[in-house]
Structure 1
Amino acid sequence: MPVSLALMIVAGVLAVAVAAGLIWRALDGRRRPVRGAPTLLDELDADAARAVLLLFSTQTCARCPQVRRMLHSVASALVGIEATEIDLTHRADLAARHRILTTPTTFIVTPVGTVAARFTGAPRRVDIEAALAELPAPQEVR
C-alpha cells in the first residue's frame, strides 16, 4: 500500500472521529423531546408543589455527582421544587421502562407524575431553570 493512500485513510478516520466527537458534545446535556408523556408516580415519594428534579444515576457514573449537586442547588433556590435521585444500578427495570440508555439522565416531573422535560447527559443549570420556568406557577394555599 502506498504511503499516500495510508495517510489519506488515517486522515479520513481521524476526520470521522472528530466529527462524531463534536456531534456527541453538542448533543450532550441537551433537552430531549418527551414522547408519550410517561408517568412516574410509582417512582416518586416527593410532595412537590410544582416539580421534582429526578436524576437517574449509577454507581459508576463519573458525572452524576456534579449533576446531583447542581440539581439540589436549583431545588433549594426555587420554591416548590424538589430534587431526588434513583440509582439504576439495581433498578434495571426502570432503565428499560423509561428508555434510559446513559447516565446521568434527568427528568423534570410535574406533581401529577408526568415528565415535563428530559435531559440526557449533564445538563446546564440555565437549561434546567428555563424548563422549570415553562411550568405553571405554584398554586397559593388559602
Structure 2
Amino acid sequence: MDLAPALVVGLGLPAVALLVGLAWRARDGRVRRIRGRGDVPAAAASAIHPGATASAPEAERLGLAGDALGAGATLVQFSTEFCSRCPGTARVLAELASEYGDVRHVDIDLTHRGDLADAFRVTQTPTVLVLGADGRATARVAGVPRIDELRDELDTTTGRSRVRHHA
C-alpha cells in the first residue's frame, strides 16, 4: 500500500470516529419536548397495563397511580441492572424531585421487561420521561439528563418560576 492512501485511511477513520462521537455526545442527555403523542407510542397501552387504552396517559400505561405520581410532575427513570450510570442518575433525580414539593421520582427496572423497553422505545439507559400532573409525557431524555435543562422542563411542567443567578 502506498503511503498516501495509508495516511488517508489512518487519519481519516479516527477523524470520522471523533466526529460521530462528538455528535453522539452532543445529543446525549438533552431534554426533548414531546409534541403530540409520537414519542411515546400508543402500542405501549394494553400490552403493559391490561385495560389501558392507546389514548391513556403514560402513567396509566405504566401502571402508575396515586402516591407513585407527583401532583405537579413525575420523573420516570428507565434503568437496568447493568447500567453503570443509572444509580448516580437515580440519586440526582431523587434530589431534584425533592427540590419541588409536588414532583416524584419513579425508577422502573427494564432488565427483565423487554416489553416495556420496546413499547416505550427505550434504546439506552438511563432514559427519563417527564410526566405532567395529568400523567402524560411532556419530555424525554436519553442518557444522563442535563440537570439545568431538566429543571427548566420541570419549571414549565409544574408552572414554577425561579430566578436564575448567572455567574
Q: TM-score, normalised by structure 1?
A: 0.90
Could you tell me which runs of 5 or more consecutive residues in structure 2 were left unpaired when the two chains were aligned: 41-56, 161-167
CA distance, structure 2, for counterparts of residue 91 and residue 33 of structure 1: 25
Q: 1:42 to 1:130 in 2, by over 3 A?
A: same
Q: What's the counterpart of residue 133 of structure 1?
A: 155
Q: What's the counterpart of residue 12 of structure 2?
A: 12
SS at match of 2:82: coil
Alignment counterpart, residue 107 of structure 1, candidates 129, 133, 139: 129
- Answering whether residue 90 of structure 2 is matched by residue 68 of structure 1, we say yes
Counting aligned pairs with the same residue, the percent is 39
Q: RMSD in angstroms over aligned alpha carbons?
A: 1.5
- Answering whether residue 139 of structure 2 is matched by residue 117 of structure 1, we say yes
Could you tell me which runs of 5 or more consecutive residues in structure 1 were left unpaired when the two chains were aligned: none
2:71 corresponds to which letter in structure 1? A
CA distance, structure 1, for counterparts of residue 13 and residue 93 of structure 2: 38
Number of residue equivalences: 138
Q: What's the counterpart of residue 23 of structure 2?
A: 23
1:97 corresponds to which letter in structure 2? A
CA distance, structure 1, for counterparts of residue 149 and residue 107 of structure 2: 19
SS at match of 2:61: coil
Larger relative contact order (CA 8 Å, sep ≥ 6): 1
